[in-house]
Chains A and B, each alone.
Chain A
């Protein structure tokens, strides 16, 4: 899920603080389409207004507030069983903690307003805390973000110009198909592994999941794990990844890491500030808590449009062409749309920036060395590869 930062705030911190209201409902009659075409029953959350509840999704809707907001989440349980919202990491008071034994369970067709003060910017979770072992794998969770003004991570923290959120979860689908008799909970055996409710090629079919990052960008990744397994992110070293925050608190100092393991319940804010253009992947491994074995690998594209299995989606090929290809540094771009285009070499170094009108264009780059190059649509990220061979 991408959020492009288009406008920088002109407001002071205190000026942004407000009373915020959300309307969230729980339902137990959802379905999700899995990568293999299976339709899986889910329970979950959806926004509602005027008594009409949005279709519930996995994960639930992203809840987003400003730093210092006084938050009111109006929760309606439109289902036949008890549910709650636990505000994971918000340090809410006991009454607003969403735990049946220490707070209160919300009965069917009952409601409550959860309140908290957004005292810390960062990445958080919300989830049901009724029979949590079952209700989580059924899908009752989502991400909650508290933004600091001015596109800063936190007060006096680093800034960013793009943001992506990835909520990791897993599922034992046999439980979803039989939630009344899922078997002993210690036999949970995950069958499906999701980022934002998507898996495998779905993370490329939904192009908003692909990270579009260029040199000089400062891209924030909000990463959270609400699964039952470890999630391991392996960042390409060219991304210069640093961990800046965890669990809504700044790191004592930024921690440079190419591999980050996130355990159930944890959240991390990672900045990527590449010096060079790069096409590739963040590898996302799901790892068993007992055996350390890798159960599944997802991939997040970095400017790369296709899953590494190579299953191409022609809809994400640009509709313009290059000929001849290979060429001697002189070539034609045919049927291109008006816009800004960049040429990078295979190491990611920026070679040329061009502003082109729509139509055909003769390009002469006689000083290019032999090798592989990319022409990239700076807005969409779609690209064509060409080869110079003299």
Chain B
């Protein structure tokens, strides 16, 4: 086995040491009556159609070990941080040291078409651990194209790529309402952190009912860092950190405003739709 140790930036004297292992696995997934395949970074060797979210403290010094259980070469890539010497052969293992990451949201992914195009893309959240943190990993799915990429009969999505399922953390509405990482919950006066990664082919534009949020960090829409908005785009590959101050009680939807994406195989409501619930 190959064991890579990549030091990204200078270690911070006060950073905490930690480590974790993720497994690259491919498997079959059932979306309503449609079956397709996805590739994901799981936190166990058993396939589950949801990428692991890594929650790291501020100024992390963190060893992440990647075990490639797929039959093809993959990479562990974080744009701007891990971009070289990062390929992992089938059944091989590599370890990467994550350090020098400032507070915010990062996207990690496998930079091969049969990886990133069929779901192998997850979230790293650094800092903000004094607040309740939520993580949304967005993915649109054209089931036939995912299947073709997974079985090697295609190397890219076709020009007529047509997504019919729209997932947050591998879930579609109404599953999104009961998942603690997806549905936003807090008490009046709380500050909540929502970390978003767009792993799909579609640019999403999300709208928050009841609240405005402040964009703390964005890797793509950098012009809008510091802006306070109720609707904002999540570009392809985006990793964005949002702050919501819970200033009124109640239950409010939050959803993609590209309204094709609030459907499940064409039926409304569905897809990228969840709730914000603020208790007194």
Contacts and interface: CB of A to CB of B under 8 A. Distances in A.
Interface in A123-137: 131-134, 136
Contact of B260 (A186, A230, A251, A257): A186
Given A94-B250, A264-B205, A265-B207, A185 B266 contact: yes
Contacts of B257: 263-265
Query: Which bucket holds chain B's interface residue count?
Result: 35 or more
Interface residues of A, number: 42
A184 to B, nearest CB: 3
B229 interface: yes
A248 B231 CA distance: 11
Contacts of B265: 184, 186
A19 interface: no
B64 interface: no
Nearest to A290: B202
Interface stretch (B15-23, B43-51, B120-128, B208-216): B208-216
Interface string B240-251: 000000001111
Interface in B187-206: 201-206
Nearest to B164: A186
A185 B260 contact: yes
A167 interface: no
B228 interface: yes
Contacts of B204: 289
Contact of B259 (A97, A187, A228): A228
Contacts of A102: 209, 250-253, 275
Interface in B59-91: none
Contact of A134 (B159, B249, B253, B268): B268
Given A131-B268, A228-B258, A228-B259, A265 B211 contact: no
B248 A89 contact: no
Interface in A237-254: 246-249, 251-252
Contact of A249 (B202, B203, B212, B260): B212
A91 B229 contact: no
A88 interface: yes
A389 interface: no
Contacts of B175: none
> From DSSP, what is the main secondary structure of chain B's interface residues?
loop
B279 interface: no
A263 B266 CA distance: 21
B221 to A, nearest CB: 10
A255 B223 contact: yes
Interface string A194-225: 00000000000000000000000000000000
Given A99-B253, A289-B258, A247 B275 contact: no
A94 B250 CA distance: 6
A272 B104 CA distance: 35
B227 A246 contact: yes
A95 B249 CA distance: 11
B252 A264 contact: no
B131 interface: no
Interface in B232-280: 232-233, 248-253, 257-260, 262-263, 265-269, 275
A381 to B, nearest CB: 33
A94 B266 contact: no
Nearest to A92: B210
Contacts of B27: none
Contact of A228 (B162, B227, B260, B275): B260
B230 interface: yes
- B201, B226, B233 — most chain A CB neighbours (10 Å): B233
B222 to A, nearest CB: 11
A97 B251 CA distance: 10
Nearest to B265: A184
A89 B230 contact: yes
B178 to A, nearest CB: 14
A188 B260 contact: yes
Interface string A30-41: 000000000000
- Nearest 6 interchain pairs by C-beta: A184-B266, A94-B250, A265-B231, A265-B257, A263-B205, A263-B233
6 contacts: A91-B210, A94-B252, A247-B229, A247-B231, A264-B259, A265-B206
Interface of A: 86, 88-89, 91-95, 97, 99, 101-102, 131-134, 136, 183-188, 228, 230, 246-249, 251-252, 255, 257, 261, 263-267, 289-291
Interface of B: 159, 161-164, 201-207, 209-212, 223-224, 226-233, 248-253, 257-260, 262-263, 265-269, 275
